[in-house]
Structure 1
Amino acid sequence: MKPRYEQPGAPDGTTFNCFIRRQEAFGLAWHHHREYELTLITEGTGTRYVGTTVERYLPGDLVLLGPDVPHTFASEPYDGMAEAAVAQFRHDFLGPDFFALPQFRTLAGLLARSARGLRFSQVPAEVPALLTVLPRLDTAVQTVALLDTLCRLSADATATPITGPGYTPAPSSTVSDRIDAVCRHLQQIHTEPVHLADVAALVHMSPTSFSRFFRRAMGRTLTDHVNQLRVETACSLLTGTAWPVMEIATRSGYQNLSNFNRRFRELKGLRPTQYRAAHRLAGVV
């Protein structure tokens, strides 16, 4: 995609940035930057957009995104606040050759793998505590604590890539503004019938031009994007309610159960009933 370019920068007295992001809601704002970004969701739920992938996030969700990986986090309605602990740093924040040292070979491999974004399913218990306290530490201790966090994560062999290829990160405010408008609209109406002409009209484009634009920007078709949104909605309903699968399919935007089952299995690798059972066994419900 051609997302908005951001320059987070670093406070005086240090070479990286860490903070607690706490808002009523995280708004959808597709962007990229030169910094690596480590984000731990501490409160609230929503949808995480990274490259070509759309996934739901929950408290405890931890991802590491490499430089220029386009992304955004969009909150779901929630009575409390949306909150995340965030650390942003450049590859040379400890010096130009620091990660080339042999003792940091594993850590360098972690950073290399983050070029596609990484999600951590088995977060070491110490990592959330380190990330949430990071902004309150003295800068020297803060730096050691961030390095400690990254070293712990580099030992996690279960970290999986988030996105595939297809998007093109490049600074263009016109493109990012259009994509923001479309994604916000789809976030609100994806459980209803979605018509290409209506979405194209939202950004004053013809359906044919919009189809090319969207695929070039997002790395997937409009239909693929809507299916990802619908399946993530279905996942939330499968783990958060006892509704029958047919009702969940309908509430997620599918009028045909076989189509819902097919799309769900394509994206999640499981049938809806298997997904519900697996997450109940894991203690999600």
Structure 2
Amino acid sequence: MKPRYEQPRTLDGTTFLSYIRRERAFGFGWHYHREYELTLITEGSGTRYVGTTVERYHPGDLVLLGPDLPHTFTSEPYEGSAEAAVTQFRHDFLGPGFFALPQFRTLGGLLARSARGLRFDGAGDDTRAELARLPALEATAQTVALLDVLRRLAADPTAAAITGPGYAPAPSSAVRDRVDAVCRHLQQTHTGPVHQEEVAALVHMSPTSFSRFFRTAMGRTLTDHVNQLRVETACGLLTGTSLPVTEVAARSGYRNLSNFNRRFRELKGLRPTEYRAAHRQPVVPG
């Protein structure tokens, strides 16, 4: 039930890994690793889980994730493939103390901020194009290009933290195991009835203790977290299918349409119909 620890393997001739991840669809694979990770989505849409935050992603989505930050990308059903350009590197991949050198301190600051994950909504097309080309370059050019991408991102005023200030990667093994067990359980069950007593029992806690624990660890209540999961599920259905809003609400876990509309507008600032019109994509049958 806890995230899988991964240890990416570098190729001969280099000290970091850059590759194209291409699959029929990205499945839920909750994991973490010691490496920083730059991920650029080049094809497909879905849901991005980073720490305790759940958000939609689309082509062009660009994030930098710090070490030991649990994450996964899960595709929505659609025709085509899911693809991302991924670069993973350790803090010392260019030698101990490299990012403490005066000329690279701004890059070191960027890496420090990535502990909560960073999203770059306003990064330029040239930055995204350079990152997408990275896997095809030879080792020396790859290294120079990676530093240039990090330089651009360090100066990007649009960089926004993904997780809340209350989330810290691996605060303790016991806390993380509980948080990860709950998050994975809710990812699989949030479209059905969710009862705090059952979720608390999953991590062997009383409902009252669990309520305090969850609010402290996640920075919000269980109800708020479930609503976020459901609304993100609804976003995928609204943009990826032609289902009526009533059916979208039901499939997302809402049995009451007015409650669905209210929660959706609270989180997205739009009515479901307005969101569908603003994010319309080629749809598939429901």
TM category (shorter chain) comes to 0.7 to 0.9
Write out per-residue CA displacement over residues 88-112 of structure 1, whole angstroms, 9 at most, x where no aligned residue. Answer: 1112222222222333343233222
What residue is the counterpart of 2:67 in the other structure?
Answer: 67
Segments of structure 2 that go 5 or more residues without pairing to the other structure are none
1:126 lines up with 2:126 in the alignment:
yes
Q: Structure 1 pair 160/276, CA: closer, same or farther in 2 (3 Å)?
A: farther
What's the CA shift for 1:271? 4.8
Instruction: Provide the rounded CA distance (Å) in 2 between the counterparts of 1:96 and 1:226.
Output: 42
1:162 lines up with 2:165 in the alignment:
no
What residue is the counterpart of 1:112 in the other structure?
Answer: 112
What residue is the counterpart of 2:214 in the other structure?
Answer: 215
Q: Structure 1 pair 185/207, CA: closer, same or farther in 2 (3 Å)?
A: farther
What's the CA shift for 1:37? 0.4
Instruction: Provide the rounded CA distance (Å) in 2 between the counterparts of 1:37 and 1:26.
Output: 17
Higher relative contact order (CA 8 A, sep 6+): 1
What residue is the counterpart of 1:19 in the other structure?
Answer: 19
Q: Partner amino acid for 2:131? A: L
Write out per-residue CA displacement over residues 134-180 of structure 1, whole angstroms, 9 at most, x where no aligned residue. Answer: 22211111101111111122221012111112465266897698558
Instruction: Please say which of residues 94-103 and 269-278 is displaced more in the overlay.
Output: 269-278
Q: Structure 1 pair 79/255, CA: closer, same or farther in 2 (3 Å)?
A: same
Aligned residues: percent identity? 67
What residue is the counterpart of 1:28 in the other structure?
Answer: 28
Q: Partner amino acid for 1:185? A: Q
The question of whether the paired residues in 2 share the 8 Å contact of 1:196 and 1:207 is answered with no
The question of whether the paired residues in 2 share the 8 Å contact of 1:66 and 1:114 is answered with yes
Q: What value does the CA root-mean-square deviation take over the aligned residues?
A: 3.5
Instruction: Provide the rounded CA distance (Å) in 1 between the counterparts of 2:24 and 2:206.
Output: 35
TM-score (norm 1): 0.79
**SS of equivalent to 1:11:** coil
The question of whether the paired residues in 2 share the 8 Å contact of 1:19 and 1:135 is answered with yes
**SS of equivalent to 1:37:** strand
TM-score (norm 2): 0.79
The question of whether the paired residues in 1 share the 8 Å contact of 2:36 and 2:91 is answered with yes
What's the CA shift for 1:122? 1.7
The question of whether the paired residues in 2 share the 8 Å contact of 1:63 and 1:120 is answered with yes
What's the CA shift for 1:278? 5.4
Segments of structure 1 that go 5 or more residues without pairing to the other structure are none
